[in-house]
Structure 1
Amino acid sequence: MFAYILKRLLLMLPTLLGVLLLTFVVIQFVPGGPVEQYLAEAKAGMGAGGGGAGEGGGMAYRGAQGVDPKRLEQIKQLYGFDKPAHERFLQMLGQFARFDLGRSFFQNKDVWQLIKEKLPVSISLGMWTFFISYLVAVPLGVAKAVRAGSRFDFVTTLIILVGYAIPGFVLGVALLVIFGGQLQWFPLRGLTSANWDELSWGARIADYLWHIALPVTAMVAGSFAVTAMLTKNAFLEEIRKQYVLTARAKGLSERQVLYRHVFRNALLPIVTGFPAAFIGAFFAGSLLIETLFSLDGLGLLSYESVIRRDYPVVLGTLFLFTLIGLVTKLVSDLCYVWVDPRVKFD
């Protein structure tokens, strides 16, 4: 197993390098980079203030037109675009090797600091969605497998498929309109109230749960459908195997057969996907849900970084999330051995 782990760790390096290289190359051909963004803001400022009419003629100002060449060079040097692309890429790799994700062009903060600021929102959404989904999906999948073909199985399958078919943001809009607007049972925005710091600990917990109820409901509605159906199918496949018939023939109760023999084998595909889902919950970002409920999380940070061409944030978060994804995938594969020692990597 040590050789397998070492091999997988070594394979992570070219994978990570390939992802960063491909993204960096694409960025070079995307119009409207940081320098152009800065010049566009300068144009807007000149147009609003009436200055620069003699040089650029107000709205006739385009790009670097009317900008002093020395000032333009200073802007390029500020953003690091005074160097060739290959030098910037190698410099970026050197920073990432030291786990230095760089500094945002437009927010004047380290990328690490931005991630830490946005992470509480994403953790709140992701962790609640993860735990509620698994706590509902696994028992529901077992119950559906035991009662396969019954009315309970049919009704729950219908409900699951309907919930899976409804997009989360559409359900979120409906929840906001009904429970936030008309009934006014829940707040319309934010993760906590404005006076949250003044509340007692009990009131803080209640206020937090009050705010998080609608966005989590919108995200959970369709998230447990795949896990529930996967659990059901895995249990059905194991129940039909010969060892289950043998266990029943020995006089074991249905409960003993189900939880002592079937449960461990059927849970193999569920448990192996557990690490990825658990780690993903920390870094999950739903742009539409965060925008809809005015939650400033990682989803909104990624979207704004792409729109504003904030390349250090785009590449820094990409490096971090890709590295976490690769390590999580390795842990998921190792879970096969933990759940079923018969699995051999060779």
Structure 2
Amino acid sequence: MTPHRLPDINALLHIPHLRIQNANAISGPHSWGHPGPTAFTGLMTALRRKLGPELDLDMVGVGIINHHYQAQTNGDYVQRFNLSRNPLNKDGSTAAIVEEGHIHLELSLVFGLALGNTLSGASQAELDQLATRIQQTLHTLRVAGGSILPGRSRLQPRLKHLPESTEEQQGQFRQLRRWLMPGYALLARDDLLPAPAQPGEAADGSRLDAWLDQCRLNHYPVADEQGQVSWQHSRQQGQGWIVPLPVGYGALTPLYPPGSVAHCRDETTPVRFVESLYSLGEWLSPHRLTDYRQLLWYPSHDASSGVYRCHNDYHLTRAAEPAILGELA
């Protein structure tokens, strides 16, 4: 697949401490928990449309920082979702239970913006008014299907131009990191999976095996020199908080004309069936990040292959950190 990099942005918008009730906790058929990045790139698209075409900006990427979560489950070792009983049917019989997973969240979002010529020269007071307007518009939307509740944070939304020099950008991001803590940022860790098979090579399933190993705890016995056996697990201390992560959708069928597929909610939009695309992610404290590009998720779409995928440049920019730090020194 062609490598992607974050498109050019010239401003960062920080929306602090959103309280979200009953967000969707089932973001794919093989994982549950925190909503995946597609929920937030979709939120970014919906927010931009809600703001209207007259606003001279484009939303390019979104950073996800979690401060608190509460999964709506019960149980000790095996967790079960808290399900609601639907009203009785017309004949008095019991309605079927539709399994829905919910989670309460407290999030901060960081949007990467590409401001047009009008807003590029705006004063800080004008940018503050725009940030407040965007936050108020965001409160009218749903985040991963969840409702936004009134916040309790003393922090105000902040919209800042990106400085031109790398050193000033680093200083601005260090200040942003303080506002994002305590919390954990969701980052991509595609680098933990083996390289995909090249064209003409047979796929050996190693990528799937590596992904499955990160989705579970593997316990195995280890014997010492005296023959004493102790049990260890695959998640050793210091390896990070690695999670399976749905990052997009891949097409299973061609694009069908509008109205040709029965029971669709929209009869004016082309339709196709898709499946989830999975990778690995990591929850990392913002103080360990050195660049805003490590924080932002951005979408890409390949019409020829029917792939919609979210990308994050954490592992790409982390590999270049020694060179960047050498330049700053």
TM-score, with structure 2 as normaliser: 0.23
Q: Which has the higher helix share?
A: 1
Structure number, greater radius of gyration: 1
TM-score, with structure 1 as normaliser: 0.22
Q: Which has the higher strand share?
A: 2
